[in-house]
Amino acid sequence: MAAEIHARPQSSRPVLLSKVEGHQDAVSAALLIPKEDGLITASEDRTIRVWLKRDSGQYWPSIYHTMSSPCSAMAYHHDSRRIFVGQDNGAIMEFHISEDFNKMNFVKTYPAHQNRVSAVIFCLGAEWVISTGHDKCVSWMCTRSGNMLGRHYFTSWASCLQYDIETQHAFVGDYSGQITLLKLEQNKCTVITTLKGHEGSVASLWWDPVQRLLFSGASDHSIILWDIGGRKGRTLLLQGHHDKVQAICYIQLTRQLVSCSADGGIAVWNMDISREEAPQWLESDSCQKCEQPFFWNIKQMWDTKTLGLRQHHCRKCGQAVCGKCSTKRSSYPIMGFEFQVRVCDSCFESIKDEDRTSLATFHEGKHNISHMSMDISRGLMVTCGSDRIVKIWDMTPVVGCSLATGFSSR
């Protein structure tokens, strides 16, 4: 059997700079402190810790604060040194971190949810703290008064959140696989639309306010780009992970998307090329190539005295085809298929060798990643997960070298 091996060029990789260990349970969130050799972590072990790099090159906690409930989400605003920690009991606690990162003072408790907080965003201009939780709702509260401003309920657990400050629109991903777009106002909200495309819970969202692109990563292993600004309902599918996509970050400057999955996979997608939309799957009672009936088409089976076949779909043309007419597999990166998928025989013939050139690079994080965040200006990434380990990565070998010079903070 003639099998072709398409090796991916893998000259440059993320460089592991540090491993930070010490948490006694899963680390739910970690972020790098801007312009400092430090990071903040929040863990299921009920602690929130600020780590600073010492002369020895090791990170040691300068703040170690124990909470009443496991920490599940976190938001940090560097200029004001305000930190918001979402907890498993549904409450969000606000603290103020001192200039030297040695003290953390309690400010306020927000009774935002009845159950585990899944995401927190602090909006300084409006003085709002917006959050989602496993009580199936998004809530927004005033950080001056501590009052609840509004709440909106979904049919399943709300798992992730993004917010467009300028237009006051929130994107909420949930366990049913839907993303809801809402306009938040002082005491009410309006549902603008729901985005349906994922076949599993949405685990991560990223909103790019400049290009008006929304990226979503889900437990169905896929990422979808929703071209909100294009207003034509254009969506691109990105399939390259082999496990739940837990965290995503879009680098607007280099037009690259970084994504991490639960199995430790780190992917860097080139979004600076024109990609093609994957087709809608067509429905048919018989194979659209050889016209043999599918097994549920009893009438045609009876008429033609043939046995029904299983229905499959060609990923490239979307036609409903039988197994015999779709024996070949191919990757097709321009449509987001980075690994081999089912294609019909005629589509297989149409795919040239150069069409199989990968449009992403894939790397091993070597731990189960549940959360990731980047400091884009320095090209640094921090990953954390259920193995209690936090890893700091130099991403500049894979995300371009012009980051430090061309970066404008937004």
Positions touching Zn ion (CB under 5 A) are: 287, 289-290, 314, 316-317, 322, 325, 344, 347
Structure tokens given for 49: 């810790």
Residue 70: name the closest of 38, 23, 111 by CA.
Answer: 23
How open is the CA angle 205-231-153, to the nearest 5 degrees? 45
DSSP 323: S
Classified as helix, coil or strand, 261 is strand
339, 325 Cβ separation under 8 angstroms? no
- Least distance from C-beta 321 to Zn ion, angstroms? 5
End-to-end CA distance of the chain: 54
Report the C-alpha gap between 205 and 179 in whole angstroms.
9
Q: Is 229 or 318 the residue whose CB approaches Zn ion more closely? A: 318
Q: Is 337 or 362 the residue whose CB approaches Zn ion more closely? A: 337
16, 381 Cβ separation under 8 angstroms? no
Q: Which residues pair with 384 in a beta bridge?
A: 371, 390
Residue 46 CB neighbours (<10 A)? 17
Q: Is 183 or 356 the residue whose CB approaches Zn ion more closely? A: 356
- Least distance from C-beta 339 to Zn ion, angstroms? 17
- Least distance from C-beta 223 to Zn ion, angstroms? 23
Q: Give Cα 269 to chain centroid, integer Å.
A: 13
Which is it for the CA torsion 236, 258, 71, 218, positive or negative?
positive
- Least distance from C-beta 350 to Zn ion, angstroms? 8
Show Cβ contacts of residue 149 under 8 Å, excluding neighbours closer than 6 positions.
128, 140, 141, 142, 186, 187
Q: Is 182 or 314 the residue whose CB approaches Zn ion more closely? A: 314
- Least distance from C-beta 322 to Zn ion, angstroms? 3
Which is it for the CA torsion 194, 245, 22, 134, positive or negative?
positive
Q: Is 160 or 321 the residue whose CB approaches Zn ion more closely? A: 321
Structure tokens given for 217: 């990563």
- Least distance from C-beta 304 to Zn ion, angstroms? 13
- Least distance from C-beta 357 to Zn ion, angstroms? 20
Q: Is 213 or 309 the residue whose CB approaches Zn ion more closely? A: 309
Q: Is 245 or 344 the residue whose CB approaches Zn ion more closely? A: 344
- Least distance from C-beta 299 to Zn ion, angstroms? 18
- Least distance from C-beta 224 to Zn ion, angstroms? 21
Q: Is 104 or 322 the residue whose CB approaches Zn ion more closely? A: 322
The radius of gyration computed from the CA coordinates of the chain, to the nearest angstrom, equals 23
- Least distance from C-beta 277 to Zn ion, angstroms? 15
User: In 333-368, at which residue ranges do the beta strands (DSSP E only) sit?
Assistant: 337-343, 360-364
- Least distance from C-beta 237 to Zn ion, angstroms? 16
| Conformational region of residue 35, where left means phi above 0, alpha means psi within -120 to 50, and beta covers everything else | left
Q: Is 127 or 349 the residue whose CB approaches Zn ion more closely? A: 349
Structure tokens given for 181: 């777009």
Q: Is 121 or 347 the residue whose CB approaches Zn ion more closely? A: 347
Residue entry with tokens 């709002």: 128
Q: Is 221 or 316 the residue whose CB approaches Zn ion more closely? A: 316
Structure tokens given for 350: 């149409």
113, 153 Cβ separation under 8 angstroms? no
Residue 305 CB neighbours (<10 A)? 6
Structure tokens given for 397: 């070998």
Considering only the C-alpha atoms of the chain, give the largest distance between any 2 of them, rounded to a whole number of Å: 82
